[in-house]
Amino acid sequence: MATVTAGTDLHISWMGNGHVDNGQSDGTCVRLMIAPSHPDPDFSDFRELPGGGCLPYWHPNSLSVPTTDADIEIPLQTTRGTHVLLWYWDFTDFWFSSCADIVVTDSPTRSPLGAPTQSPIFAASSHPSVETESPLAEIYVREGCTDARLPEGFCGVYVDPKSYCKSYATDECGRSTCQGADFLLPCSVPSPPPSLGVHVYRQQGCAELNTSFCTNHRAAGSYCKNYQSDSCGRSICQGDGFEFLLPCGVDQE
């Protein structure tokens, strides 16, 4: 179950399932709503999340790769506790929907590997996927789950407690996938070059950097969230977590 701090963004992703970049889903909307926890909530119990009225079903990322995900804000005034997140897609005469439980808290918690437990919500599919915003998941989607840089038990922490690395099977590039997250970036997709000023960003945050830094570092539409800061007074780009910054006083290697 995903845990998210009220007033921050939750990363949500869904499987394209063959409806991406082929004209079928162009111009269609994904809607995101939330309701207090209930075994069988009524549709009237849900309220629309800010910016969740009509998200594009897919969009190209900074590498021009079609992606199906979004960062959605959980409002600060949301009551603390368990809620139900509703995802649904208006696809011509058909509607596809999925629900997932989330826990709204006052402060972030951390997993055994040190990553925030603000796990992604996976809708429109019974299969979860990896949160590609974390550095370890970035390794996974490019190199697979057998990469030596990934910690033991990666699939169980970042995908699902029951997931495991299917090291007995490989794709055409020799990479293995986590059970339930059977996708990787194409072999030909290069790793993005380091962003200009990223070493300064990891040390000091984004507030003192050029206003275009977050757009270049993350993607079009990202910005410096200078209205929030960590214990060292540093802000992060929209789409990053505070764990991306170095500990206070630590120099970039």
pLDDT digits (tens, 9 = 90+) for 7-33: 888 888 887 777 887 888 888 889 999
Residues 93-119 as b or e (16 or more Cβ within 10 Å = b): eeebebebebbbbeeeeeeeeebbbbb
Count of other CB atoms within 10 angstroms of residue 71: 17
What is residue 188's predicted lDDT score, i.e. its pLDDT? 63
Tokens describing residue 39: 């075994």
Residues of the chain with CATH 2.60.40: 2-123
Q: How far apart are CA 71 and CA 183, in angstroms?
A: 20
Which residues face 96 on adjacent strands? 89
**How do residues 191-230 score in pLDDT, each as one tens digit?**
544 445 777 888 889 888 887 778 777 666 678 888 888 9
CATH number of 2-123: 2.60.40
Q: What is the pLDDT along the chain (253 residues), one digit of tens a residue?
A: 788 888 888 888 887 777 887 888 888 889 999 999 888 888 889 999 999 989 898 888 777 778 888 888 999 889 889 999 999 888 777 788 888 889 998 855 443 333 333 333 333 232 334 444 456 777 888 888 888 777 778 887 777 777 888 888 888 888 898 887 777 777 765 554 444 577 788 888 988 888 777 877 766 667 888 888 898 899 998 878 888 888 887 765 4
Please tell me whether the overall predicted TM-score, pTM, comes out greater than 0.75 for this model. no
Q: How far apart are CA 137 and CA 202, in angstroms?
A: 19
Half-sphere exposure of 52 (CA within 13 A, CB side): 24
- Which helix (H) or strand (E) element contains residue 84? strand 81-91
